[in-house]
Amino acid sequence: MEYEIIEKRMFLDDIEDRKALELLLTEEGIKLDKNLEYTVGIYSGERLIGTGSFFKNTLRCLAVSREYQGLGLMNRIASHLMNEEYQRGYTHIFLYTKGGAAETFKDMGFYEIERIKDVLVFMENRKNGIREYAEGLYADKVVGDSIASIVVNANPFTLGHQYLIEKAASENDVLHVFVVSEEASVVPASVRYELVKQGTKHLKNVVLHKSGDYIISHASFPSYFIKEEESVVRLHAELDIRIFADYIAKSLGIRRRYVGEEPFDEVTRTYNEVMKESLEERGIECIIIPRFLKYGEAVSASRVRRYIRENNLESIKDLVPYTTYDYFKSREGKALIEKIKKNHGRH
């Protein structure tokens, strides 16, 4: 019997929807991504034959059952998702895919940003998006003999972040600091940026940037088509470095990148190792700075969040700049404290 092919929204908290979704993705060699906001299913009768999802402005987990491939269903899925994205105010759309699928998405109006062999291709729906981003950075270029950079998430901004920035600033003529713009942390991007701004305003050679869409956080990097967890970390690091070296560093004349040492978290430590190797292959020095300690323990954003969850706000006073502490004592800060107390994730 022939069935009409229809599309409808799927809900991951619905047991039947989730079961059907995971079965289709598994058949196509894809894992269910941990970060999904919206999912659509393509059905033939009651059977799920295609699906796609998104998180923020990135398309994820797109798959069509093998026997239905070549019928234009992938285009239908992508069009549905992008229409939904537009309605939510996202017009600059990204996707990550395997090399073999890149041509399909090129036909849909996506353009390649970076590729790591045939394992990972990062694409966007703007022909010159990454070049326009790099040109925008060039407007903030400052001349100097030694120009360095740091990327921070600052969730929230601590004395550890401040120490790293102060050290890098003292060793270079110009320091470009990128605050991750992605909303993948409990502290909102606008707050994180402002806390970094206030905590570094005494450093006259620091140029502050919002990272935009081209610096991807650990928390939201997609891994649904990568089999091994270590490969995920390495691919994320390699993608980050290629974009950084080919576009960001080139635009701003950056020759050094500073990063804090990570003695405990294996994921971050592996990321740092790959970063150092990849950057130095491209002629950019990577300097790993030992963690700033307080009372014999590394100062970290996760430690600050832990104290907040324990209703121990007074203890964070020794771990954060006064500007961060003052924020948490404000009306807006108190609302964020309640949000942090309810959040028990890594970010």
The model's pTM is 0.88
Query: What amino acid is encoded at 101 in this protein?
Result: A
Let me know: does 159 contact 133? Beta carbons within 8 Å.
no
Instruction: Please name the CATH architecture into which domain 5-91 falls.
Output: 3-Layer(aba) Sandwich (3.40)
Beta bridge partner(s), residue 286: 257
CA 311, 322, 290 angle in degrees (round to 5)?
90
Q: What are phi and psi of 21, to 5 degrees?
A: -65, -50
Note the pLDDT of residue 230: 55
Of 324, 130, 138, nearest to 243 by C-alpha is 130
Let me know: does 123 contact 213? Beta carbons within 8 Å.
no
How far apart CA 101 and CA 28 sit, in angstroms, is 12
| pLDDT tens digits in sequence order for the chain, 347 residues long | 456 889 999 999 999 999 999 999 999 888 898 889 999 999 999 999 999 999 999 999 999 999 999 899 999 999 999 999 999 999 999 998 888 888 999 999 999 999 988 888 899 999 999 999 999 999 889 999 999 999 999 999 999 999 999 999 999 999 999 999 888 789 999 999 999 999 999 999 999 999 888 887 665 566 666 666 557 778 888 888 999 999 999 999 999 999 998 776 777 788 889 899 999 999 999 999 998 988 888 899 999 999 999 999 999 999 999 999 999 999 999 999 999 998 766 55
User: What are the b/e assignments for 159-171, b being 16+ CB within 10 Å?
Assistant: bbbbbbbbbbbee
Count Cβ atoms within 10 A of the Cβ of residue 331 and give its class: 0-12 exposed, 13-18 middle, 19 or more buried.
Answer: exposed
Let me know: does 206 contact 171? Beta carbons within 8 Å.
no
3-state SS, 88-104, equals CCCCCCEEEECHHHHHH
Region of 346 please: left (phi>0), alpha (psi -120 to 50) or beta. Answer: alpha
CA 138, chain centre distance (Å) = 22
Q: What is the CATH number of domain 132-342?
A: 3.40.50.620
For the chain, the structural domain boundaries read 5-91, 132-342
CA of 28: how far to CAs of 32, 51, 95, 343, in Å?
A: 11, 11, 17, 33
How far apart CA 113 and CA 127 sit, in angstroms, is 9
User: What are 61's two structure tokens?
Assistant: 């987990």
Largest Cα–Cα separation, the chain: 73
How far apart CA 272 and CA 113 sit, in angstroms, is 22
How far apart CA 126 and CA 121 sit, in angstroms, is 15
Topology alike, domains 5-91 and 132-342: no
